[in-house]
Amino acid sequence: MNEDYKSSPYRRHRNDLEAGNSTRDYDLDDDEGSGPFDIVRTKSAPVDRLRRWRQAALVLNASRRFRYTLDLKKEEERKQLVAKIRMHAQVIRAAVLFQAAGQGQTGQGSAKLPSTPNRIGDFGISSEELVAMSREHDLSLLQQFGGVNGVAQKLNCNVEKGVPGDETDLIERKKAFGSNTYPRKKGRSFWRFVWEACRDTTLIILMVAAAASLALGIKTEGIKEGWYDGGSIALAVLIVIIFTAVSDYKQSLQFQNLNEEKQNIQMEVVRNGRRIKISIFEIVVGDVVPLKIGDQVPADGLVISGHSLSIDESSMTGESKIVHKDSTKAPFLMSGCKVADGYGSMLVTSVGINTEWGLLMASISEDNGEETPLQVRLNGVATFIGIVGLAVAVAVLIILVARFFTGHTTDPQGRPQFVAGQTKVGDAIDGFIKIFTVAVTIVVVAVPEGLPLAVTLTLAYSMRKMMADKALVRRLSACETMGSATTICSDKTGTLTLNQMTVVEAYACGKKIDPPDNKSLVPSRVISLLIEGIAQNTTGSVYASEDGGALEISGSPTEKAILQWGLNLGMDFKTARTNSDIIHAFPFNSEKKRGGVAVKLSDSEVHVHWKGAAEIVLASCTSYIDSDDKVVQMDDDKLLYFKKAIEDMAAGSLRCVAIAYRMCEVEKLPTTDEELENWQLPEGDLILLAIVGIKDPCRPNVRDAVQLCINAGVKVRMVTGDNLQTAKAIALECGILRSMDDATEPNLIEGKSFRNLTEAQRLEVADKISVMGRSSPNDKLLLVQALRKRGHVVAVTGDGTNDAPALHEADIGLAMGIQGTEVAKESSDIIILDDNFSSVVKVVRWGRSVYANIQKFIQFQLTVNVAALIINVVAAISSGNVPLNAVQLLWVNLIMDTLGALALATEPPTDHLMSRPPVGRREPLITNIMWRNLLIQALYQVTVLLVLNFRGRKILNLETDTSDHAFKVKNTLIFNAFVFCQIFNEFNARKPDELNVWKGVTRNHLFMGIVGLEVVLQVIIIFFLGKFTTTVRLSWKLWLVSIVIGFISWPLAMVGKLIPVPERPFGEYFTKKIRRNKESSGKENAAMEEGG
């Protein structure tokens, strides 16, 4: 897609190409000229781009680092498997058709029933017989069973009332025909995570070094004393492995639960004559399932009845061909396919593993992961830091080895540790192993392996919490992209409004009917025609229980409101449906905004009923029925009267629906099935029966939610299929339009007007649009494309099948969980479970929280990295000894990586996040504020600890102690103070740009628990594990010194936050200098060539 990015009002800085003045194609920008880690949109990223960043990353443990990214090899295998199963399906179809053609009977072959069908229970048909019929689409076998009704009888169910639905009956059906589930691959066991944690390159090297040190120590000092050095490293590595495995295992369980939630589709079925909603996994053979546009076919089955029923079988066949279905010629429905058009009902004949879809899902049921843009960028950050750390580790290794073997490294007594010709070979090797171990440990600390995984951790946490906030995340990347959203294009009905509709105004017989169900004001013929039209021209239904309980109305909210109005007018739904038969139907279409049916009465009279958007249906009406029950020509005055009525109702935020009909001559009816299938219902010369105004009140807190978005720099736009006047009234009520002064074009625009603009004009007005009325799904798609070309990060809500392209095109597609069709949900990234706009705003908060939490963790981790590296390098160069040994560094790494990520990556979102603009997707991850904070803390830690390292003995009054004891006390204090600096700095990292770092800390129990755990473990290490960590017990005064050194980081951070930082990112200064140098060298080369 070619997108010219124009200037965006939400641009944060010049380098944000998405929001800048760049006219480069978005995808080109992704492929060329950018670094391997510069992928801002993983939604449709090409495979070679995904492979490129993996190859560029510096990775110590590939199986762990890439666990939650798309497994490219498995994805390829999955595609091949799907192709194989689809080919199998097509081969069977082709064989059936070939066999049928050979016999001269289209669609019929010589059916072979299973020789000994294994019938279970009192059912007259076996699972094998049903599978044989369904899989091969065998019409002759279906006819042998007595057609759809015959199969229903054998399954002990009724095609209208469905199965009895009691517990015993359902258990019997599951026992005889199986359940609608498929075997799933088991999730990874805990031991698999332990094994993967063990595969870290540096940890393996450390284990080898520990084994060598252990063998050497035991050989030279005996088993009693000699095992400590090697054993302590091995134990530290083991603890790191266990902590890592436990953290990763818990994360995987969260993802497993969320994946199961994604597949749990809610379906409507008819049981005992009543429509109820159940999980797709609860569907049994014999169930009657009503189908409408956008539904997924939940199991293999047969069409009971259908009107313009068309199925998209691409999910099974791989061909995007729409197949027409009916109950006679093409009754077979395949599980997993989608209803593309029309409506009808089906009888379930095979479920679960007995369907081809079940086989397919059982083969590919393992979730294959996906990367997010932040994850890719953090791999880039980790790679850069890792390379620096690797260089430092190599430098430390070379310096320490050189100093050691030249006799410049001394022990605490000041004696050289190596003297050529005098030191034993074993001692020399032991000394080298210790140096090598320290160098390897520096790599462990330097390469932030946990940094990219922190994204997965915070996303897993956010996804779990978002479920409680009524949002189900289908794509991980959408969760973080939502934090960058600059505009939300929202539906009106059900999202901004309650979706609780009632008819509150009605116009019929050329006048207002007040109240709307006052039958005395409407002639009986008009009432009977209205009842006929309402009962037949609907996808809803009315269930009347046999015990005379309250009537239950099902269907969309609009359908329910009109059905309720019909009942108030005296409609008996069941009788009205049996008084006439539907010949043909034109299902409601969001493009044409109306739906119709042709019905044949008992006296052979044919009526065509239409229902839809009031002004569109009214435009097709040429007459109406007056109060005297006479058909009267629609003159200009009456037309103006009805138009004014529509405008008045729309201005009162009512949804206007018109109901009309016309007679149809029997001679003009199609005579063959083929003609009937292609028959266009007559839609002109209609007689107006009624215009109703349906009230759908705004959601109580929607105005606050919209204001919250505006404060956060996110523009809310309403895109609705409703009348422009209705949309304007609701937009004013919600706060999308501030006042009537805003309610002018192009702020307020009709879909048709926007559609008719040129592409350049659409780009120009897209930014200004606040409300789009009478929009088609294609208008929504055009708006999304225009906004994205303008540099916006666009979130779109949608519920209909035709919304799928816009949901897919948007940066974040939000499908509605209650009213949304399965097609819309499958095209979406996040499902809003309660259809509420407030939940959409909560998703924005969580998206921003993901980004903020990662930044907190980066700031914390880089401070530890910088401080630990500088301390060890300076000490190594100057004295040949490092104050932080291998075991101590592994403990610091555990605090920094696993525990630090758990504490900081799971911070809940705050209101502060919604008081700042959206985060640009190309903004530097490490902001100037973060650089300031981490440099101040790192500089403080390095200064204090190096002073202690070189002058500690004097400062701590240890000159009278033995050299060995003084050396150990000093190093223990450095280690203890360093750990406490990190613990106190964890609090600072919580609020990088706020003075009060303790705000809300007690509400984050996980954070408090982890900090408490770190303190307890540190106390245990110093008091009881000195042999392992080469530390000694400290006096209470030195404990106090350690805590005070850590505590000073709090006031220091507060003072640091008062230092202003430039708006322009630090990185830009370097890139500009590099660019300038390249340009000047290029000019020099050009001048030399010209001179030559």
Q: How far apart are CA 592 and CA 588, in angstroms?
A: 8
Which pair of structure tokens corresponds to residue 1036?
Answer: 């209470």
Letter string b/e over residues 233-270, b meaning 16 or more CB atoms within 10 A of that residue's CB: bbbbbeebbebbbebbbebbebbeebeeeeeeeebbbb
On whether the CB atoms of residues 27 and 1 are closer than 8 A, the answer is yes
DSSP H or E run through 1049:
helix 1049-1056
| Chain-centre distance for alpha carbon 1017 | 37
Q: Which two tokens stand for residue 568?
A: 């108030």
Structure tokens at 360: 């397919």
Three-class SS state of 243? helix
Three-class SS state of 77: helix
Pairing outcome for strands 502-508 and 511-513: antiparallel
Contact, 820 vs 798, CB < 8 A? yes
- 3-class DSSP assignment, residue 604: coil
Are the CB atoms for 884 and 868 separated by under 8 Å? yes
Partners of 582 in the beta sheet? 599
Q: Is the Cβ–Cβ distance between 693 and 655 less than 8 Å?
A: yes
| Residue 503: φ, ψ to 5° | -75, 120
**Nearest residue to 1055 (alpha-carbon basis) of 962, 988, 999:** 988
Q: Please, are residues 902 and 457 in contact by the beta-carbon 8 Å criterion?
A: yes
* Tokens of residue 449, six digits: 């392996």
> Is 491 designated active site?
yes
Selected catalytic residue, list 29, 341, 367, 491: 491
CA distance linking residue 766 with residue 394, whole number of Å: 56
How many Cβ atoms from other residues are within 10 Å of residue 351's Cβ? Answer: 30
- Phi, psi torsion values for 113, nearest 5 degrees: -75, 150
* Number of neighbours of residue 1012 by Cβ within 10 angstroms: 11
Tokens read off for 499: 């979706």
- Return the SS3 of 309: strand
Q: How many residues does the chain have?
A: 1092
Q: Phi/psi at 804 (nearest 5 deg)?
A: -55, -45
End-to-end Cα separation, the chain, in angstroms: 45
Query: What string of DSSP letters covers 982-1006?
Result: HHHHHHHHH-TT-S-TTTTGGG-HH
Asked if 309 and 344 count as a contact pair (C-beta separation under 8 A), the reply is yes
Rama region for 585: left / alpha / beta (φ>0; ψ in -120 to 50; rest): beta
Residue 920 CB partners (closer than 8 Å, separation 6+): 10, 11, 12, 13, 16, 18, 19, 484
| DSSP category for residue 895 | I
Residues forming the active site: 491
